[in-house]
Structure 1
Amino acid sequence: MAETAPQTGTGTRIPTVIADDVHVIYKVYGSGARKGGATAALSRIFSRGPTPGIREVHAVKGVSFTAYKGEAIGLIGSNGSGKSTLLKAIAGLQPVARGAVYSHGQPSLLGVNAALMNDLTGERNVVLGGLAMGMGREQIKDRYQDIVDFSGINEKGDFISLPMRTYSSGMGARLRFSIAAAKDHDVLMIDEALATGDAAFQRRSQARIEELRERAGTVFLVSHGINTVRETCDRALWLEAGTLRMDGPAEEVCDAYAHHSLAGA
């Protein structure tokens, strides 16, 4: 679980997230793990024998960094490098096996705090998503039209009045981002949201991230598109096989990652 950040001195840089030697280990259940059903599982529990078909994955290995107020930090790396798992650990949604995560306020992970329901209309989901993030009903009412306009859901019809199950995956992702971005956050984590939508929506998203930073928040962005990280973030963390390979200015880290990818190392 994320903990309250320890108090610091009166320096000008205010830490919002501290990851201290974070390790995340989770279990993957194969087909053999289910073989035999509940009776066999109960037998193994009493016999204290190993459960077949289960393996442990060490997804994040000793990652340490400090994020500061006003930063936009991109997380880059190949598939399975631990980026999304690290975000879940920061949000307190993934247990930490060793080490600790300290945070200022409650980090918000886009797509989780705005928990949308497929059988409800987009309109109802805007209300529920706002409430889930701690917004009041009057606040949601005041920002409702801005959320809908920002998402672009209604540009080709009255989709906001239709159930979420009728939306494409991109439409759902844009609405999630729009709901999350309607509220100022101490720490906002976005996992691939800018990969959806057209160029106009991406520009609106990047502009909104700048606004969040100016209001003293910290933004984490996971993206496979290093150009998005270059354009949106001032700092980047490069994860590879669960380890932090590089932490520095976004341009330098993205260049190093691009060179590594081209070299096929």
Structure 2
Amino acid sequence: MAVAEQQTLVSTPASGSRVPTVIVDDVHIVYTVYGAGTGRGTATAALYRLLSRKGSPNVRRVHAVRGVSFTAYRGEAIGIIGSNGSGKSTILRAIAGLLPTESGKIYTDGQPSLLGVNAALMNDLTGATNVLLGGLAMGMSQEEVRHRFKGIVDFSGINEKGDFISLPMRTYSSGMAARLRFSIAAAKNHDVLMIDEALATGDRAFQRRSEERIRELRKEAGTVFLVSHNNNSIRDTCDRAIWLEKGELLMDGPADDVIKAYEAHSGK
């Protein structure tokens, strides 16, 4: 899927029927890695090969997602589990339109929003300025951001030990920055919200607030995807889980059933 190939669902369902928000149809995602395995070469040499269309003996294709298909529905919270490198974050990035597919299609109803612990905020700007910019980037008006500003800061908890919201983001710990990112994203109701490891940061009190907010988003007719290595967070937050391994979908069903099968397989 070139990003432009991602299509928007247009549905007029009968009353009482489930409304699909994301359809992933036989999706394959392949990465091309240049210079893998040698550690040699320069950026200039790599650029020359690309411009001259000359191949490299050390080009490697990584098949990160292999024929994955599933449908997500409005009001669902879906956990995505699997070992490291299983394709969890990759499939979220594809749903968000940030990665092309080799084959297959992704259909979405509304604009998916991807939140990860590496979501881009400006380190040289204050937390307060990042709240404003983050809200505007999500489509809120300045008035909406100002109205929700205190709630965002209070939810994040970063001001509990001082006036950190007025300091540059570069002074924050990784946990503080991740909590602020989640708080900004959670301030808006999303058609499809994808959270990549956001609940792995912060203390238990913040995790409880995050889990409660995800439940609220579900009630407000959105769909939530959660990628986490914390199986308890998946159990507490999600009613459905998808298990990916080596890029393949191994199981899709009730969260507790899928997690039990994953834990039996991985010995956790």
What TM-score does the superposition give when structure 1 sets the normalisation length?
Answer: 0.93
What is residue 204 of structure 2 aligned with on the other side? 199
Distance 1:234 1:190 in 2: 15
Tell me if the contact between 1:71 and 1:217 (Cα under 8 Å) persists in the aligned partners: yes
Distance 1:33 1:81 in 2: 24
CA-based RMSD: 2.0
Distance 1:43 1:193 in 2: 38
Q: Report deviation, 1:55.
A: 1.0
What is residue 229 of structure 1 aligned with on the other side? 234
Q: Alpha-carbon deviations, 1:109-144, whole Å to 9, x = none?
A: 014996310000000000000011111000000000
Question: Does the residue aligned with 1:135 lie in a helix, a strand or coil?
Answer: coil
Structure 1 residues 8 and 59 mapped into 2: Cα distance closer, same or farther (>3 Å)?
farther
Tell me if the contact between 1:113 and 1:129 (Cα under 8 Å) persists in the aligned partners: no
What is residue 22 of structure 1 aligned with on the other side? 27
Superposed, 1:69-108 pairs within 5 Å as 69-108=74-113
Equivalent of 2:182, from 177, 180, 199?
Answer: 177
Paired-residue identity, %: 68
Structure 1 stretches lacking a partner, 5+ long: none
Question: Does the residue aligned with 1:149 lie in a helix, a strand or coil?
Answer: helix
What TM-score does the superposition give when structure 2 sets the normalisation length?
Answer: 0.92
Structure 1 residues 77 and 164 mapped into 2: Cα distance closer, same or farther (>3 Å)?
same
**2:44 is equivalent to residue 42 of structure 1:** no
Distance 1:113 1:168 in 2: 13
Question: Does the residue aligned with 2:189 lie in a helix, a strand or coil?
Answer: coil
Structure 1 residues 216 and 135 mapped into 2: Cα distance closer, same or farther (>3 Å)?
same
Tell me if the contact between 1:74 and 1:220 (Cα under 8 Å) persists in the aligned partners: yes
Distance 2:118 2:42 in 1: 37
Distance 1:200 1:132 in 2: 28
Structure 1 residues 195 and 111 mapped into 2: Cα distance closer, same or farther (>3 Å)?
closer
Tell me if the contact between 1:113 and 1:133 (Cα under 8 Å) persists in the aligned partners: no
Aligned-partner residue type, residue 4 of structure 1? T
Which has the larger displacement, 37-46 or 157-166?
37-46
Distance 2:200 2:135 in 1: 23
Tell me if the contact between 1:113 and 1:132 (Cα under 8 Å) persists in the aligned partners: no
Q: Report deviation, 1:257.
A: 0.4
What is residue 160 of structure 1 aligned with on the other side? 165
Structure 2 stretches lacking a partner, 5+ long: none
Tell me if the contact between 2:34 and 2:56 (Cα under 8 Å) persists in the aligned partners: no
Distance 1:36 1:183 in 2: 44
Distance 2:197 2:43 in 1: 37
